A and B are shown apart, each in its own frame.
Chain A
Amino acid sequence: MIKRIPPYWILLAPGMLIFILVFVIPVGRLGLHSFHENSSDGEAGQAFVWDHYVKFFTDPYYLQILGRTLVIALTVSVICLIMGYCLAYGASRAKENRKMILLMLVALPLLTSATIRNFGWIIILGRKGLLNELLLGIGIIQKPLSLLYTPTGVVIALVHVLLPYMVLVLYSVLEGIDRNLESAAANLGASKPKVFVLVTLPLSMPGIIAGTLLVFSITLSFFVTPSLIGGPKVQLMATEIYNQMINLLNWPYASALSVILLVTVLIVTSLYNRSLSRSKTGGATLI
């Protein structure tokens, strides 16, 4: 006898079909492809080799790219954390009717694409850009700084792209802190900085960890900013993968680089999800 199919499977079926065909199989094939021998046609039935992974972990050039990616992601996370904390703290302590406006000023740029925001940074950071003209005009510097096509420029633009994420995570945590605890500490004689360091900061720790991990994991695989602001001089994992894939047509090696990047991102993401589920802040886990 055929059992009746439960209603939830019927509801999930169209989505499952799309996801298995267009997501699971392609991403799975990417993993398989990383073990194929070099050839651009990508037909199945080729020998199973570890070559690409061996090449990555023995060639200082590629290890340096991974190292540079990690360093830039860490720098961006720390700067975002400091700036984001100021903004989130300011918004959470503002009067009720101003909170919304302050948050929207941070969140709305999130809606415009990173490409367009990076274009703005190119106008600002260029050799004859706004920042250099300004600093030369005031007399702080004598020669124009080179910011475009340097890691510094990439960090500035990445911080701008990722700051909203940090602010939104920190804001939800800071809003959740019971204000009575701060008043209690103040009543017991603690000065304002002391209240902040001993009460507010430790209570917002879950948000700090979650926000930093979130920004870190997004930065690792970010493509647009290193490609536009960094150019060929600042190779990161994402731009190197694109280069191997599109310019060198070395698909198996691009796949191996992708798998290495994916594993790194997944480690950071699982730490992020764990840090959120341990805190009861109600922030959204990624998965």
Chain B
Amino acid sequence: MKITFSWLGAVNTLLYIFILAPLAVVIIASFHPGEFLIFPPEGFSWRWYEYVLTSGRYTKPFWNSIWIAIATTCISLPVGTIIAYALSRYEFRFKGVIQSLFLSPLVVPTLLFGIGLLMFFSSMGIKMYFLRLVLAHIVLTIPYVVRTMIASFSNLKRSIEEASVILGASPVKTFWLVTLPQVKSALIASAFISIVMSFDELVVALFLTGPGMNTLPMMIYSDIQFNLSPSLAAISSLIIVVTLAVGFLLAVFMQRKKRI
């Protein structure tokens, strides 16, 4: 077998190492048996994984993040989908402006959005931290849902929907039974993006939560600053492995869909 050396190949190998190194380092460090985070680890143990899963320290923040992500997605997915449907099926005045409005959270820095919301909520006296975060995350995730769904709706053939209406189905029934099943994979992708973004969101959470309401990213952020320990590496590794696995499965699923 002939192996050809190429400069590009060599450089890119180094770049892939650069990309994967921080993730690999966190995972490797999580197996250190001692109390303090050191690299490379001196020995191998599952001790910190056991601690993360059984100590309860991370349990509450984890469930807070999960419930916030689920509540966010339950609203941003349907709302974003009907926005995308309206924008891709109807022509009307100010359509461009309205589309820009729904995509603008992509441009306004999250930090500024967080500050604006903190001022807003405190002047309104809204102290329910769960509600604050869900509302903020809905605004942050809708642009992604809208963008994904617009792309998917505009690929559909209108004739199938028209056939359904001609055969006597109401517009709502047509949307539910004919249009939505055709964009199923885009819906799954949007839901996935929305859950991951909300679960991982840190900046807005730093501004909007208060006593008794900690999310997992906030916990990790403050542990990095004040409490570097192998348990931090273990919880981070769990998050890395789970997100990458789900992302990988989704990519494979989408790729197969495309081929059919």
Residues of A within 8 A of B (CB): 6-8, 11-12, 14-16, 18-19, 22-30, 33, 42-43, 83, 86-87, 89-90, 100, 104-106, 108-109, 111-113, 115-124, 128-130, 133, 160, 163, 220-221, 223-224, 228, 238, 241-242, 245-246, 251, 254-255, 258, 261-262, 265-266, 269, 284, 286-287
Chain B residue contacts of A112, Cβ below 8 A: 23, 200, 239-240, 243-244
| Complex Cα gap A284–B109 (Å) | 18
Q: Least Cβ distance of B134 to chain A in Å?
A: 10
Given contacts A11-B83, A86-B12, contact A287 B104 (CB under 8 A): yes
Query: Which A residues are CB-close (under 8 A) to B19?
Result: 105-106, 109, 160, 163
> A18-B142, A109-B19 provided; 18 other pairs, C-beta below 8 A?
A8-B89, A11-B83, A14-B79, A18-B138, A19-B139, A22-B117, A26-B119, A30-B116, A87-B16, A108-B247, A109-B23, A119-B26, A120-B22, A221-B109, A223-B203, A242-B206, A255-B119, A266-B107
Contact of A15 with B117 at beta-carbon distance under 8 Å, contacts A113-B202, A113-B217, A261-B112 already known = no
Point out the residues of chain A lying under 8 angstroms from B224, CB to CB. Answer: 115, 118-119, 122, 228
Chain B residues within an 8 Å CB radius of A115:
200, 202, 217, 220-221, 224
Asked if B120 is an interface residue, CB under 8 A from chain A, the answer is yes
Docked complex Cα distance between A129 and B240 (Å): 21
Known: A221-B111, A269-B107. A116 touches B240 (CB 8 A): yes
Contact residues in A for B207 (Cβ distance below 8 Å): 245-246
With A29-B119, A116-B26, A119-B220 given, is the CB distance from A160 to B232 under 8 Å?
no
Interface centre among B22, B118, B123, B200 (most CB of A within 10 A): B22
B18: A residues at CB distance < 8 A: 83, 160
Given A15-B80, A120-B25, A87-B15 contact (CB < 8 Å) = yes
Is B8 within 8 A of A89, CB to CB? yes
Among the interface residues A116, A241, A287, which one has the most CB atoms of the partner chain B within 10 A? A116
Chain B, 166-186, CB within 8 A of any chain A CB: 171
- Contacts A113-B217, A287-B100 given; indicate if A90 touches B112 (C-beta within 8 A): no
| Nearest CB of B to A129, in Å | 7
Contacts of A133 in B (CB 8 A): 39
- The answer for the CA separation of A33 and B122 in the assembled complex, in Å, is 13
Complex contact A7–B90 (CB within 8 A):
yes
Question: Are A241 and B115 closer than 8 Å at their CB atoms?
Answer: yes
**Residues on A with beta carbons closer than 8 Å to the beta carbon of B86:** 7-8, 11-12
Interface bracket on B = 35 or more
B159: interface (CB < 8 Å): no
A225 nearest CB across to chain B (Å)? 11
Q: Give chain B's interface residues, CB within 8 Å of chain A.
A: 8-9, 11-12, 15-16, 18-26, 29, 37-40, 79-80, 82-83, 85-86, 89-90, 92, 98, 100-113, 115-120, 122-123, 135-136, 138-139, 142, 147, 171, 196, 200, 202-203, 206-207, 217, 220-221, 224-225, 228, 232-233, 236, 239-240, 243-244, 247-248, 251, 255
| A-side interface mostly | helix
- Measured CA separation A15–B134 after assembly (Å): 14
Query: Once the chains are docked, how many angstroms separate the CA of A246 from the CA of B118?
Result: 11
Contact B21 A120 (CB under 8 A): yes
CB nearest to A254 among chain B residues: B115
Indicate if the CB atoms of B90 and A42 lie closer than 8 Å.
no
CA distance A269 to B103 in the complex (A): 13
Asked if A123 and B115 make an inter-chain contact with CB atoms under 8 angstroms apart, the answer reads: no
A23 to B113, CA, bound (A): 7
Task: Verify A284–B147 contact, CB threshold 8 A.
Answer: yes
A238 to B, closest residue via Cβ? B111
How far apart sit A251 and B118, CA to CA, in the bound complex (Å)?
Answer: 10
